[in-house]
Amino acid sequence: MSYSAQRRPDQSVHDRQPSAEQLSSPRARSPRASAPERTIDALSRLAHQTGGSAFCLVQPNGIAIDFGNGEPAFTLRTHNVSGLDALASLDALTIAHAYMDGDLDIEGDLLAALSYQERLGDFHPAIYLWRRVKPILLGRPRVNPAWIALHYDAQNAQLHAAESTWHTYTPGVYSSDDEALESGADRKLTLAFEALRLERGQRLLEVGCGWGGMLRYSAKRGVQVTGLTLSRLQKEFVEQRIVEEQLPAEVHYQDFFTFRPIERFDAVSMMGVIEDLSDYRTVMRLLSHWLKPGGRVYLDFAAERKRFDTHSFVTKHIWPGTFRMVFMPEFMEAVRESPFELMRVDNDRHNYYLWARRMSERWMRNRLQVEAEHGARLWRTFLLLFAGVAAMMGRRSHSATAYRVLLELPADSDGAFHTTKWVTAADRANGLLRAVRDGLLSSS
């Protein structure tokens, strides 16, 4: 994937200077070293690590320096000292801020550039601690609306990148690497609909209905659909489609953890949602209460090898709060304790990679329109997200992956949860603490 930033006339690449190895030295690590010296030294150390593509640094004065072996796959073009200082920090969030602010541009293969993210620092304990402490102090239902709105109430800007038929915001299932987003989305929705064994007149709960992909697909086939969202703009968008297409569906502005349906559903769909609902045991308990015996739950999601490995950029600018990619051992333990049976697991990593890459390509093609409607900073922020996800799913380490999961509540299930005494005691203690907290907050 190639990305060309807007170039300034005075920033053409000058004749090549001596190599980075010749220019970098221990002196560059001194606080008194100039910004270019510190940056060259830092990038030299980064390039010496194995596996990364060669790249070029263009300083504000136009001097270009190559790093690594071979033809540079991308160029880091700095426009001022702030851009140089950001690169010298080798901190992922600091570099992201420099890019979002326009102090730094990335030209050429953006995925190759973002593949270096694994080697950058990302130690921001204040961001990490507050996102864990805030829901404990205030309760997730009180903080979830603002958290979700940060990303999904961006004036529907994401639709400039999403497929145009169903407006899905999760990966499709693709038959080839060059298949369009639209046909991949249609195949994914078909597979999910069939897996849930939905029939005309049955009831589907679509948790996190987004811009209405699965909701519309199912409703067009005679299924009664209830959608939940915490984005008022998404709710307005979906309600307009329901009216225009005369669909048997409704959408509610509703938090998952406070939803209390009157009737049980025949099936539940959760596409790209469980990452925001990281309390898997509570999720399973609620789903078991909402689903009819014999009903099924479809989920798809991104997963990570580490339990808590959300990047600071994502927490601060995209999905704040308790969002995290699924840690499969913890998720599977919650399924094991629940009355649900695991019916199917499909690896979705390559589909996720193709989807994010196609999204980033469409986003880049629509740059002028997005910037005119939403500003350059939003365009840059979401480009980092889409391309960053593609680079993450394309890692040779496969530390990040994705899955499609199908669960079933057996018709003859007793509905019992099989948790240890310690887990049960901890759940009761947490419930008591939440009740005390909510009582104090409601009376204040």
pLDDT tens-digit series, residues 189-213: 999 999 999 999 999 999 999 999 9
pLDDT tens-digit series, residues 105-134: 999 999 999 999 888 998 888 777 766 666
The answer to whether residues 163 and 105 belong to one domain is: no
Split at pLDDT 50, 70, 90, the class of 43 is very high
Counting beta carbons within 10 angstroms of the beta carbon of residue 177, is it exposed (0 to 12), middle (13 to 18) or buried (19 or more)? Answer: exposed
Phi, psi of 402 (to 5 degrees): -155, 155
Split at pLDDT 50, 70, 90, the class of 13 is very low
Q: The CATH number of the domain where 35 resides is what?
A: 3.30.1050
Element (H, E) at 435: helix 421-443
Kindly give the residue spans of alpha helices, DSSP state H, lying in 314-366. 328-337, 349-365
pLDDT at 323: 74
20's tokens? 């980075």
| 352 within 8 A of 402, measured Cβ to Cβ | yes
pLDDT at 123: 85
The answer to whether residues 114 and 158 belong to one domain is: no
The answer to whether residues 348 and 407 belong to one domain is: yes
Q: Which of these three, 85, 119, 153, is where a domain ends? A: 119
Residue 125 in any domain: the answer is: no
pLDDT at 435: 53
- What is the DSSP track for 177-244? TT--HHHHHHHHHHHHHHHTT--TT-EEEEES-TTSHHHHHHHTTT-EEEEEES-HHHHHHHHHHHHH
156's tokens? 């529907």
pLDDT at 152: 57
Domain that holds residue 435: 142-443
Q: What is the dihedral of CA 125, 127, 131, 136, to 10 degrees?
A: 50
Look at the chain and report how many structural domains it folds into. Answer: 2
18's tokens? 């001596």
Question: Can you point out the beta strands (E) in 5-145?
Answer: 55-58, 64-67, 74-78, 104-109
State yes or no: pLDDT of 169 exceeds 80.
yes
pLDDT at 146: 63
Residue 348 in any domain: the answer is: yes
Residue 132 in any domain: the answer is: no
Q: What is the mean pLDDT of residues 146-150?
A: 59
Residues 6+ apart with CB under 8 A from 292: 264, 265, 266, 409
Q: What is the mean pLDDT of residues 399-403?
A: 95
pLDDT tens-digit series, residues 49-81: 867 899 999 999 999 999 998 999 999 999 999
Residue 130 in any domain: the answer is: no
| 362 within 8 A of 164, measured Cβ to Cβ | no
Q: The CATH number of the domain where 172 resides is what?
A: 3.40.50.150
